[in-house]
């Protein structure tokens, strides 16, 4: 398996995140016959609502790419049973909001089997789900990652680029613990890039420094990464140097990379689309403050979604953007 750092000479092809994830699943299924997929409408001809599994049931059969009834609890429950039986199931829950129907299976079963068996029972389960589509209203747009960060035993992953989507998904599939792989709809088919065509993995729990800087650290992940980089470009024109850290995995959390950066810049903004109140930024900012209080030049700022359901109306905005981040950096730097 090729790691991200080794792909300089690898053959590549321009892919969207959806195509890159399809490639990851294809290669995983070819490598290990115990990798199986299940979820609503994932078999051909539909190939999943977002086409991530398109062509895979034709290639590997409907026994390994199983279209299921609309029953999220059963989808994840069956996947838990498959994992206990030695398979590596990848269960798709169409929208993150719908995972509430399967929370019992994830939180009370998948997350706890290793603990309750004294480490004898692994749980190589991956649950894929999608967030970010406000055009379908408040029940199709909730970023609930903080719920699962709060649950010991589940790894929480959210990619921001096609290459990372492929590499992180591959690592989830072959991890022996349950992984929640969160996809953002606005990243599925935008920002195409050259992605290695062969198998590639990115270690879970290792953040990426997407831009180096000296004045302030922006800690972010997933869909907020593009607008954080946009804000950093704009701030650079004003003479403010911003370092952007893409966490990539929220659990395990690469706190070392965050602390090294903030310890050097002395200022931090934690940005995400999830609700600001009790969101992932609350834990991250608390840890930064606990570890670096004496080194901080200003309080850590958090930027997140409003404490309200995501509105359907485009005229109403509940999540932050690059403009908000620029303003937050001005506040924390005093410039």
| Domain-terminating residue out of 177, 201, 225 | 201
Residues 92 and 216 in one domain: no
Domain of 59: which CATH number? Answer: 3.40.50.970
> Does 150 qualify as catalytic in the annotation?
no
* Sign of the dihedral defined by the CA atoms of residues 15, 17, 22, 24, in that order: positive
State mean pLDDT over 236-257.
98
Residues 259 and 165 in one domain: no
Q: Which of 140, 184, 186, 272 is catalytic?
A: 140
Structural domain count, the chain: 2
Write out pLDDT tens, residues 189-213: 988 999 999 999 999 999 999 999 9
Residues 242 and 313 in one domain: yes
Residues 135 and 160 in one domain: yes
Q: Which of 10, 138, 34, 154 is nearest to 86 (CA)?
A: 34
* Sign of the dihedral defined by the CA atoms of residues 88, 94, 95, 97, in that order: negative
85 burial (CB, 10 Å; 0-12 / 13-18 / 19+) is: exposed
Residues 191 and 273 in one domain: no
Residues 312 and 231 in one domain: yes
| Domain-terminating residue out of 201, 227, 252 | 201
What does the pLDDT read at residue 148? Answer: 97
Write out pLDDT tens, residues 80-132: 999 999 999 999 999 999 999 999 999 999 999 999 999 999 999 999 999 98
Q: Which of 323, 18, 9, 3 is nearest to 159 (CA)?
A: 18
State mean pLDDT over 9-31.
94
Q: What would the two tokens of residue 190 be?
A: 């935008």
- Say if residues 106 and 99 touch (Cβ distance below 8 Å): yes
Residues 170 and 232 in one domain: no
User: When comparing pLDDT for 9 and 327, which is higher?
Assistant: 327
**Residue in the structure block whose two tokens are 């024109």:** 237
Q: What is the DSSP letter of 14?
A: E
Residues 227 and 196 in one domain: no
- Say if residues 225 and 248 touch (Cβ distance below 8 Å): no
Residues 185 and 293 in one domain: no
Residues 54 and 194 in one domain: yes
Q: Which of 8, 181, 166, 149 is nearest to 79 (CA)?
A: 181
The pLDDT of residue 2 is above 90 = no
Domain of 326: which CATH number? Answer: 3.40.50.920
Residues 163 and 244 in one domain: no
C-alpha to C-alpha distance for 330 and 335, rounded to whole angstroms: 5
Q: Which of 265, 270, 218, 224 is nearest to 244 (CA)?
A: 218
What does the pLDDT read at residue 134? Answer: 67
Give the predicted TM-score (pTM) of the model: 0.95
Q: Which domain holds residue 162?
A: 2-201
| 272 pLDDT tier (thresholds 50, 70, 90) | very high
| Domain-terminating residue out of 169, 201, 233 | 201
What does the pLDDT read at residue 311? Answer: 87
| 170 pLDDT tier (thresholds 50, 70, 90) | very high
DSSP string, 259-327: HHHHHHHS-EEEEEEEESTTSHHHHHHHHHHHHHGGG-SSPPEEEEE-SSPPPS-TT---S--HHHHHH
The pLDDT of residue 135 is above 90 = no
Residues 164 and 181 in one domain: yes
Q: Which of 2, 6, 8 is nearest to 194 (CA)?
A: 8
DSSP string, 107-146: IIIITTHHHHTTT------EEEEEE--GGG-GGG----HH
SS3 35: strand
């Amino acid at each position: 398996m090729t790691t991200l750092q080794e792909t300089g000479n690898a053959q590549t092809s321009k892919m969207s995140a959806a195509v890159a994830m399809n490639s990851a699943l294809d290669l995983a299924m070819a490598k290990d016959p115990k990798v199986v997929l299940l979820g609503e409408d994932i078999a051909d001809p539909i190939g999943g609502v977002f086409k991530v599994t398109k062509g895979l049931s034709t290639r590997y059969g409907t026994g390994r790419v199983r279209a299921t009834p609309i029953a999220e609890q059963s989808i994840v429950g069956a996947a838990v049973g498959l994992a206990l039986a030695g398979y590596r199931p990848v269960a798709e829950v169409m929208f993150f909001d719908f995972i509430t129907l399967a929370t019992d299976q994830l939180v009370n079963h998948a997350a706890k089997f290793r603990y309750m068996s004294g480490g004898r029972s692994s749980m190589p389960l991956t649950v894929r789900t999608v967030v970010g589509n406000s055009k379908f209203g408040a029940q199709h747009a909730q970023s609930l990652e903080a719920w699962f960060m709060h649950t010991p035993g589940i790894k929480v992953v959210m990619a921001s680029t096609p290459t990372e989507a492929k590499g992180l998904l591959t690592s989830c599939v072959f991890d022996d613990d349950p992984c929640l792989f969160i996809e953002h709809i606005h990243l599925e088919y935008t920002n195409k890039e050259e992605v290695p065509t062969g198998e590639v993995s990115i270690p879970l729990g290792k953040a990426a420094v997407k831009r180096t800087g000296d004045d302030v650290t922006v800690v972010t992940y997933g869909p907020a990464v593009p607008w954080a980089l946009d804000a950093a470009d704009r701030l650079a024109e004003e003479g403010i140097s911003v370092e952007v850290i893409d966490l990539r995995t929220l659990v395990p959390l690469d706190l070392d990379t965050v602390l090294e950066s903030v310890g050097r810049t002395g200022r931090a903004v934690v940005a995400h689309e999830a609700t600001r109140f009790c969101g992932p930024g609350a834990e991250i900012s608390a840890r930064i403050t606990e570890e670096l209080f004496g080194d901080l030049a200003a309080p850590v700022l958090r930027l997140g979604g409003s404490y309200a359901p995501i509105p359907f109306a485009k005229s109403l905005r509940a999540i932050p953007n690059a403009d908000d981040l620029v303003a937050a950096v001005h506040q924390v730097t005093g410039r």
